Amino acid sequence: MQSVLVANPKGGSGKSTLATNLAGYFASSGRKVMLGDVDRQQSSLRWLAERDAALPPIVGWEIEPGAPAKPPKGTEMVILDSGAGLHGKKLAALVSRVERILVPIQPSPFDMWASGEFFEQLLAEKAVRKNKVFMAVVGMRVDPRTRSAKELERFLESHDVPVLSWLRDTQLYVQAAANGMTLFDLPASRTAKDREAWKPILHWLGEPAATAVAADSGKDPECWFDK
């Protein structure tokens, strides 16, 4: 079972967008996926409730009376969507349970200030220092032509953390999320440009380059958006 933590201590950094779309990709490619929400706002849990049963299935935690929440039996991929303000013992506990950490960050001074300190906390974790857990950054809602994007790029170059990709600011993510969908539930012909940006992220997670953006549910997005 592979596990990925999506984390950033700042709210609104794009954690749920990144986590739900990761879950959508792996579900569309045939994996049994659990999306675990460890955020007080429960954004991902609400998104799961909106997801149509006809789409590739994504499940939440298995919860039994008197027992801790756990991934359902047979789960192949666990995606954890964390909350704002993650630090200390809770951060250490989550890091100890995953293999990869993705840190979404937007091109704003507030995101950079919060993320810089967070990188230091993550790099100090024993599992990260001993290369048992690996971390990387994904730029969210980035227009590379802007000054703020250049400033973000310089900021990330000053930290010892790899930057996998830059995801552009597009309404596709917003429209899909409103219906419990992801980029990978929409036809590839409509999302080709954005799927290309996901290639290095998925490849870092172990997906073969040739298949990293091939998942496609084949649904007509207009049918889903209009329901």
Question: Residue 210: is its pLDDT beyond 60?
Answer: no
Q: What is the percent of the chain with per-residue pLDDT over 90, rounded to a whole number?
A: 45
Task: Provide the pLDDT for residue 162.
Answer: 85
**Residue 145 buriedness (CB in 10 A; 0-12 / 13-18 / 19+):** exposed
Total domain count, the chain:
1
What's the longest Cα–Cα distance across the chain?
53
Q: How far is CA 191 from CA 36, 67, 167, 185, 225, in A?
A: 26, 41, 12, 10, 15
Better-predicted residue by pLDDT, 48 or 210 = 48
Q: How far is CA 96 from CA 35, 56, 90, 189, in A?
A: 18, 29, 10, 39
The whole domain housing 138 covers 2-225
* Rounded distance between C-alpha atoms, residue 91 and residue 80, angstroms: 12
Of the chain, the end-to-end C-alpha distance in Å amounts to 35
User: What digits encode the pLDDT tens for the residues 133-143?
Assistant: 999 999 998 88
Q: Which amino acid is at 84?
A: A
User: What digits encode the pLDDT tens for the residues 135-189?
Assistant: 999 999 888 788 888 888 888 888 778 889 999 989 999 999 999 999 999 998 9
SS3 163: strand
* Rounded distance between C-alpha atoms, residue 98 and residue 34, angstroms: 13
Residue 214: CB atoms within 10 Å: 15
Residue 172: CB atoms within 10 Å: 17
For the entire predicted model, the pTM comes to: 0.86
Tokens of 56: 């590739």
Question: Residue 12: is its pLDDT beyond 90?
Answer: no
Question: Residue 222: is its pLDDT beyond 60?
Answer: no
Output the domain CATH number for residue 20: 3.40.50.300
What confidence tier does 218 reach under pLDDT thresholds 50, 70, 90?
A: very low
* Rounded distance between C-alpha atoms, residue 154 and residue 20, angstroms: 28
Residue 157 phi, psi dihedral angles, 5° rounding: -65, -25
What confidence tier does 209 reach under pLDDT thresholds 50, 70, 90?
A: low
